[in-house]
Amino acid sequence: MATIGTLLKTWVAGSKVGEDSFGNRYYRGRGRSGYRRERRWVVYKGAPEASKVPPEWHAWLHYMTEAPLDADSRHAWQKEHVPNLTGTRAAYVPPGSVLRGGKRRRNTGDYEPWTPQ
């Protein structure tokens, strides 16, 4: 949920540019005096989490492109955007992690610990 200030600013000075597949809405505002660029911002659907912004909108928000990129212009080898999953049940847990029971494979024998003399 956006703050009251952001919602008021969006209502008064923002013009909607588009919406992504997560439901986030992107806006632009007038350029400010002394600055060469317009203001750009996002109003998140749900909790504000920066990792919810797909790459095509990230490029536009950070002034890398003048217009948002098309999701259709992606290459076949590019994966679909996934938000940061840290702290959720879907987070990556490597083998040997405490969260997986702390068990790991035995050493292969090529490890020789250093001992000071």
Beta bridge partners of 18: 26
Condensed to tens digits (0 to 9), the pLDDT of residues 5-41 reads 878 888 888 889 999 888 999 999 876 667 778 889 9
The answer to whether 68 and 26 are in contact (CB under 8 A) is yes
Strand, helix or coil at 98?
helix
Please, what sign has the CA dihedral across residues 105, 108, 109, 114? negative
Q: Where are the domains of the chain?
A: 1-72
The answer to whether 11 and 21 are in contact (CB under 8 A) is no
Segment holding 50, helix H or strand E: none
82 compared with 41, residue with greater pLDDT: 41
Q: Does residue 57 surpass a pLDDT of 80?
A: yes
Calculate what percentage of the chain has a pLDDT beyond 70.
91
